[in-house]
Structure 1
């Protein structure tokens, strides 16, 4: 079946948005986004200035979209828990791996001089993951509490631990960070290993 004009337009619009987002992400990774002009962004994206303003009114929204796209891609293959997990869910392990890959960037984004819009969007995604996980697991541990309050508490705790972990030098492993996040969420007790480490041990 021949591609319609609308399909071609939609594909072109999406390519332009992705090019702008990728350019913003690369500039941010290099520590140059804060001082970058619209011309710097469009030159890096290979699009014209008018295309930028067709998609974005401000640079923070562009960077927030770029970060969101990268996080969604990083966690795309991680399933949502369907029961109360015995360890940190794969989606959170994927998030930790992504955060470590761009540790310098996330330290800036989540720090005092970071973008409030980007930080709020990151927190919102964590809350959405927490909400979905609690609902799908069927747990009664939070009975009587509004789900939004539960999700906000889980997201806030996770992000606080992750931010502190990213600031450490030397930085402990992802497995250690996963253990820290999990123990903060479930309370004191025996350390619980990340899925990758469990798999490695069981295969020996």
Structure 2
């Protein structure tokens, strides 16, 4: 039997769909906090969520897509927004509150992010996080306008992709090797990298 996947980007207001997706996202986030994601099976997720395997496949093609959606939704629910940074007058000396909040969000879910970004993590989630960060950086550059760091010969999207990779590398290193470092300090490291000209 060929299973046709629904368009996962199309929003729905069907309470049953929203409930199933919420249960699946909560289940994989819990499992991701408990150990490496590569050891998690679909049956582990559906068992934890209390739904059938067919329900899983009604909504997601694989566990990596589910995990990426769950982490992205978690960040959105945390209310992280570059538009609130007040960048119209240039980069402030200190990291903006949205960056500190984001790093605090990661600290609050450190085991999950350690498992996702670590050696046995998810390439899909890593790629989605990198894309999301790059789009935030592009938006930040656009908000800065003439106050943006020195112009580069690179297209803005390439520059943002490189910075997003650096930010993820900092976060992964912090979680793995320097977990006692306060989120505000990690945010300042990231801000220094973003602000380099």
Class of the TM-score when normalised by the shorter of the 2 chains: 0.7 to 0.9
CA contact (8 A) 1:28 1:34 kept: no
Between stretches 160-169 and 15-24, larger displacement belongs to 160-169
Between stretches 105-114 and 17-26, larger displacement belongs to 105-114
- 2:120 matched residue in structure 1: 113
Rg larger in structure: 1
**How far apart, in 1, do the equivalents of 2:12 and 2:124 lie?**
31
Q: Larger relative contact order (C-alpha < 8 A, sep ≥ 6)?
A: 2
1:29-68 counterparts in 2 under 5 A? Answer: 29-31=33-35, 33-68=37-72
The answer to whether structure 1 residue 158 and structure 2 residue 170 are counterparts is: no
Query: Which residue of 143, 157, 166 corresponds with 1:148?
Result: 157
Residues 101-157 of structure 1 show CA distances to partners (whole Å, capped at 9, x for unaligned) of: 122222222122211111101111110110111111213432653110121122122
Deviation of 1:53 (Å)? 1.0
**How far apart, in 2, do the equivalents of 1:75 and 1:182 lie?**
19
- 1:85 matched residue in structure 2: 91
TM-score between both structures, scaled by the size of structure 2: 0.81
Structure 2 stretches lacking a partner, 5+ long: 1-10
What value does the CA root-mean-square deviation take over the aligned residues?
Answer: 2.5
- 1:201 matched residue in structure 2: none
Aligned length: 182
- 1:101 matched residue in structure 2: 108
